[in-house]
Structure 1
Amino acid sequence: MAEADIQVQVCHALPDSSFLRSLTVPAGTTIGQAVERSGLLQEMPGIDLAANVVGIYGKRKPLDTVLREHDRVEVYRPLQADPKEARRRRAGNKPA
């Protein structure tokens, strides 16, 4: 008996465009496999899964994480600035 298929989404956002695709994949599919099947890497060739962080609903996950029904895989952009350093700069610029 074959395992059931599950519904998942793959998304990625840039300042000027976004990618969101719903997929039906076999149970047992990993994050990496879902990203490859979604067509994201072909539509946005600048994405490198070895360098970009991925997650499910805002929680960082490794590429070999097995997906569950209705998971939303998110491929994140690299940070432009270290959040702690940016906070220090803002705090340092405030008048006493």
Structure 2
Amino acid sequence: MENKNNTIHVEVAYALPDRQRIVALEVPDGCTVRSAAMQSGLDKQFPDLDLTTADLGIFGKSVSSPDSQALKSGERVEIYRPLIADPKEVRKQRAAKVKARKDGR
């Protein structure tokens, strides 16, 4: 089916632990990942969200060049929150606690 308007349908998603939003958009064919995020208006619904610097992905896979990667119709852009803790450090601390419990027996 040919798209006469040269637009594609995409979604942009953002979530906090207690609240999430998915916005459906019609964007020009060739629209970049970052541009779709900016057009979503989610930064107005989530005041602490900075779309100019946020990490972005498509269907759970991080995008290394969101300012130049073009979207395909049907894709979902995901806006990622910054990590609060380094996952490697958390695993190290958890392993140290388990080891300390075993050594304490």
TM-score, structure 1 length as denominator?
0.89
Match for residue 4 of structure 1 among 3, 6, 9: 6
- For this pair of structures, how many residues does the alignment match? 95
User: Where does the alignment leave 5 or more consecutive residues of structure 1 unmatched?
Assistant: none
Q: Distance in 1 between matches of 2:89 and 2:54?
A: 21
Moved over 3 A (4+): none
- AA matched with 1:81: A
- AA matched with 2:54: N
Q: Distance in 1 between matches of 2:59 and 2:70?
A: 14
What residue is the counterpart of 2:20 in the other structure?
A: 18
Q: Distance in 1 between matches of 2:96 and 2:45?
A: 41
- AA matched with 1:25: V
What residue is the counterpart of 1:72 in the other structure?
A: 76
**1:28-79 deviation digits (Å, cap 9, x = unpaired):** 0111211121111111121113432111111111222110011100000111
Name the larger-Rg structure: 2
What residue is the counterpart of 1:87 in the other structure?
A: 91
Bigger mean CA deviation after superposition, 37-46 or 5-14: 37-46
Q: Distance in 2 between matches of 1:39 and 1:79?
A: 23
Partner-residue secondary structure (3-state), 2:85:
coil
- When residues 50 and 34 of structure 1 are mapped into structure 2, their CA distance, relative to the original with a 3 A threshold, is closer
TM-score, structure 2 length as denominator?
0.82
Partner-residue secondary structure (3-state), 1:92:
helix
What residue is the counterpart of 1:39 in the other structure?
A: 41
Identity across the alignment (%): 42
Q: Distance in 2 between matches of 1:28 and 1:40?
A: 21
